[in-house]
Amino acid sequence: MSDCCATATIEIAPTPRVAGKIQTVALVGPPNSGKSTLFNRLTGLRQKVANYPGVTVEQHYGKLSGVGRGDLTLIDLPGIYSLNTSSEDARVAVDVLHGRMPGAPVPDAVLLVLDSLHLQRQLMLAAPILALGLPTLVLLNMSDLMETRGGEVDTLALARELGVPVAKISAARGTGLDSIRHFLDKKSEPVTVKPRLELPVMGNPRSYRQWATGISTRTKYKAPLSSEWTRKIDSVLLGRITGPLLFLAVVFGVFQIVFSVGLPVSNAFQTVLTGAGSKVGLLLGNGWLESLLIDGVWKGVSSVLVFLPQILLLFLFVGVLEDSGYLARAALIADRVMRAIGLNGKAFIPLLSAYACAVPAIMATRTIENKRDRFATILVAPFMTCSARLPIYMLMIAAFIPNKPLLGSFFGLQAAVMLSLYVLGFLAALATARLLKSSILKASSAPFILELPQYRVPTVRSLSLRLIDRGKVFVKQAGTVILCVTLVLWVLSHIPFHADLPQSIIGHVGQWIEPIIKPLGFNWKIGIGLLSSVIAREVIVGTLGTLYGADPATQSLSLQAALRHDLTLGGAMALVVFFAFAMQCTSTLAIVKRETNSWRWPALQFAYMSVLAYIAALATNVLISHFF
């Protein structure tokens, strides 16, 4: 779906400054210190929270709710290790903190979130942050975990050492948040760097380290025992034999559940939606209004809504993998393979998310420090089979492929075709990455530095926030863009009035492009579907529903039966192959433009993918027509 999964960035206009009062608070901390969890706690807004270093790549804004004054703006910054690193995450954070980020409010206070499980190392970030001279509250997050694992720290001594208040919190459990309220309710004092505070030489990690070690010794910091659990789990999940097996099992399991559990649920949902539509249709009588609302709007929107259960299932899986910490292990296992195509294990996470949607995947590539590796990942991500392709895949497979069992009743022909479409997209991505890395994006590979977080049990709260967020965006998409497209199409296919579909405006456009797409085995209705799906892939199903619904010849048939009536097997398979390769997603193009800061890349991507799609669809049609 086009921008189905654009992260929930809430734009809030900067509040006018009131002297002496804190207006804007920045949330700063190293990657994976729990900033995003705290941000969600404090604002009640939904935002991507993941147990994987570097997932937050955008700065997010939110008004405080429940804690502190409601008029305060909180900015969630990307995780950073220092103010002096090369990654774009760090650049964004530094620009916001220095008030150099255009359009972002200038922070006048800082909440520094540190993971108390690794306090000694995390304290290194305190030095450059305190040197900014903004009022700062240091939050020792995950203090509950630290204490249960036998860790200790004297917060009062730490506050004396740093010259700023320090509080223990647990963002996941919501404890210790009162300290934030007290800090924010106080009037901001004129800022003076405390005379007692001795900061290390700026920009030198070694001196930061000595400074941090000194402080942690003087504040009697005792690091907690590292989780035996994590090591024990890793000895299985990263085991020489068990590791790759479980990795494959996880990938396979995700597909199996999305399709074997998701599909029946979607079908049941479809029955409900169609039933509701025809009930309302009866009430409306048999006029043009009934036709507009039921054949036009409802058919179009519900044919996309049907996929909600499956999309939610997929996001649930990706969410559990991310939040549990397994995704970082997957990157470790995948590194060897990714390296073979010139990318690194970190590209695996974005590419895996691209199976849900290319938009968040492309945004997540900011954690790849090497610019050329990053661009290569951005350019191949749209080849991964995103969930917006599922509607048309499932429709065509259900309509044209008999469900013959192949490996018992567990794995049938339909599943095999679906799996091969996934493989096709994946292979196209690999080949393209190879091509890019050996031509225009040739570069020495970036060092692969991957932090392995401790395993955590994903919280129901974080998972459900994520699902609600994604579900909402998807429904909004179906309810707005797709509604508009189906409405326009209904009108275009009913003007002139009382004309048959081939004589309507849309019929003419479709017939005009038919010669171009005829070699692929497509008719003019598919042509219109292709035109409308340039906005977003899933739109085609709604369009076809509307077109076949408006055609008297196929009006009484189900969409599947109507397609069988109208297309050959070769044309149908050419269509899904076309969708496997083509770049039909305006949101992805827009995000690529933003991330690469030039129209050159999305233009190249669109041209390359379209040509590839046309050739592959042509080959598919010719081959299938020849053999079957």
Partner 1 sequence: MSLKALSELKIGHTATVEELKLPDEVQHHLMHMGFTPEALVLAVRRAPTGDPTVYAVDGMEVALRRETARWISVREFEEGSR
List residues near partner 1 by CB under 8 A.
81-82, 84-86, 117-118, 120-121, 124, 205-206, 209, 223-224, 226, 230-231, 234-235, 238-241, 243-244, 332-333, 335-337, 339, 345, 369, 447-452
Which CB atom, from 66 or from 244, has the smaller least distance to partner 1? Answer: 244
DSSP states along 70-115: TT-EEEEPPP-S-SS-SSHHHHHHHHHHTT-STTSPPPSEEEEEEE
Please, are residues 546 and 596 in contact by the beta-carbon 8 Å criterion? no
Structure tokens at 401: 């492929």
Which CB atom, from 330 or from 592, has the smaller least distance to partner 1? Answer: 330
242-246: long-range contacts, CB 8 A cutoff, minimum separation 24: 243/329, 243/333, 244/333
Which CB atom, from 108 or from 234, has the smaller least distance to partner 1? Answer: 234
Which CB atom, from 34 or from 391, has the smaller least distance to partner 1? Answer: 34
Which CB atom, from 205 or from 264, has the smaller least distance to partner 1? Answer: 205
Closest CA to 531 of 548, 549, 518, 544: 544
Closest CA to 9 of 109, 76, 71: 76
Q: Which one-letter amino acid corresponds to residue 579? A: F
**CB 27: neighbour CB atoms within 10 A?**
25
The least CB distance from residue 146 to partner 1, in Å, is 11
Which CB atom, from 14 or from 205, has the smaller least distance to partner 1? Answer: 205
The least CB distance from residue 114 to partner 1, in Å, is 13
The least CB distance from residue 84 to partner 1, in Å, is 7
Which CB atom, from 71 or from 451, has the smaller least distance to partner 1? Answer: 451
**CB 284: neighbour CB atoms within 10 A?**
13
Rg of the Cα trace of the chain? 27
Which CB atom, from 131 or from 615, has the smaller least distance to partner 1? Answer: 131
Structure tokens at 232: 């024990």
Give me the sign of the Cα torsion angle 367, 368, 369, 375: negative
Please, are residues 402 and 444 in contact by the beta-carbon 8 Å criterion? no
Q: State how far the Cα of 589 lies from the Cα of 428, in Å rounded to an integer.
A: 18
The least CB distance from residue 317 to partner 1, in Å, is 22
**CB 574: neighbour CB atoms within 10 A?**
31
Q: State how far the Cα of 403 lies from the Cα of 406, in Å rounded to an integer.
A: 9
The least CB distance from residue 373 to partner 1, in Å, is 13
**CB 65: neighbour CB atoms within 10 A?**
14
The least CB distance from residue 218 to partner 1, in Å, is 18
Three-state secondary-structure class, residue 142 = coil
Which CB atom, from 243 or from 549, has the smaller least distance to partner 1? Answer: 243
The least CB distance from residue 161 to partner 1, in Å, is 19
The least CB distance from residue 111 to partner 1, in Å, is 20
The least CB distance from residue 446 to partner 1, in Å, is 9
Three-state secondary-structure class, residue 63 = strand
Closest CA to 343 of 379, 306, 382: 379
**CB 444: neighbour CB atoms within 10 A?**
8
Which CB atom, from 289 or from 340, has the smaller least distance to partner 1? Answer: 340
Instruction: Categorise residue 10: left if φ over 0, alpha if ψ from -120 to 50, beta otherwise.
Output: beta
Which CB atom, from 332 or from 347, has the smaller least distance to partner 1? Answer: 332
The least CB distance from residue 252 to partner 1, in Å, is 17
Instruction: Categorise residue 203: left if φ over 0, alpha if ψ from -120 to 50, beta otherwise.
Output: left
Which CB atom, from 247 or from 524, has the smaller least distance to partner 1? Answer: 247
Name 113's bridge partners.
139
Three-state secondary-structure class, residue 411 = strand
The least CB distance from residue 366 to partner 1, in Å, is 15
The least CB distance from residue 156 to partner 1, in Å, is 23
